[in-house]
Amino acid sequence: MPPRRASGYLTAADGCRLFWRGWFPVPPVRGQAVLVHGANEHSGRYEHVAAWLVGLGFEVRALDLRGHGRSAGLRGHVDRFEQYLEDLERLVESRESKAGGAGGPGGGPGILLIGHSMGGLIAFAYAAWRPERVGALVVSAPWFGLRMRLSALDRLLAPVGARLVPRLRRPAGIEPGHLSRDPRVARAYRDDPLVGTTVTARWFVECSRTAARARTQLAGQMRVPVLFLQGDADRIVDPGTTRAVFEAVPHPCKALRRYPEGYHELFNDLDQGRVLADVEAWLERLGLWPAAAQPRDAPSTGAGLTGATPASAPPA
């Protein structure tokens, strides 16, 4: 049975209209999960991940981040990175996008927070800021450091432009073929009218600043269980930096799952069944959300797992 869906708009603190989606299981509800997408994309690209989580018994919600997808805002722009955290807080707190369920701010173990790429950086920063709201964190190919090459011009323009012309737009530089080994993913990405192609100088500087804080400060402050998912063949973010952040996290319930041939979008790559199975196994070991009986198809498995390791205002 397909999950029941809902969608609508929330209003951010500064008046920005934020589009949200929700996917709801048949009761009993096991817990609440929140998905955070990456740069230039939107929450609709995670329909299959949401359906999988619903099959596990989770109520799932996701935003189109400001400047992305169906949400308002200049495409690929943010004035302050903390706006992303405030918008995520709005979703977590909102009753407009909820249909009941266990967990979250009102009680229980907190939300299951899953973020990819830039969304992984947002989720990581949010968990450091609001650990009491997060039961467990999963970050897929998080933006802690970049592997993709930036032109000398972009490196020069970004810090200057962020101060003088913060909305200066430049090509995002993401090659669709670098997202997944599945060519259908690249074609769908190119053809998706909600996928953006540009970012601003201020956006790049704000994200880079927060990535640096994640490496040097936030990792050491992490107080929630966290699972890192990283493809070694990722050509967009740097796998070595992901490992360094993982090693800096002091929480005893942390794990790193590496996929030697995995590209950037592990939830859309050829090993996606194995990735989802690894997330499910980690959640079961945590035992934060007792399993509810839900009819579902078990995720397929495949080869490719190595390197497993056992397990106010936003910060400025």
Catalytic residue among 64, 264, 269, 278: 264
Residue in the structure block whose two tokens are 């359906």: 51
Catalytic residue list contains 238:
no
Measured between alpha carbons, how far is 83 from 88 in angstroms, rounded to an integer? 8
Catalytic residue list contains 192:
no
Measured between alpha carbons, how far is 26 from 145 in angstroms, rounded to an integer? 40
Considering just the CA atoms, what is the radius of gyration of the chain in Å? 18
Catalytic residue among 64, 87, 234, 278: 234
* H or E stretch at 22: strand 17-24
Catalytic residue list contains 264:
yes
Measured between alpha carbons, how far is 139 from 229 in angstroms, rounded to an integer? 6
Measured between alpha carbons, how far is 256 from 211 in angstroms, rounded to an integer? 18
| Burial class of 182 by CB neighbour count within 10 A (0 to 12, 13 to 18, 19+) | middle
Catalytic residue among 43, 97, 117, 140: 117
Phi, psi angles (nearest 5°) of residue 88? -65, -40
Contacts of 14 (CB under 8 A, 6+ apart): 83
Q: Give the 3-state secondary structure of residue 8.
A: strand
- Residues with active-site annotation: 117, 234, 264
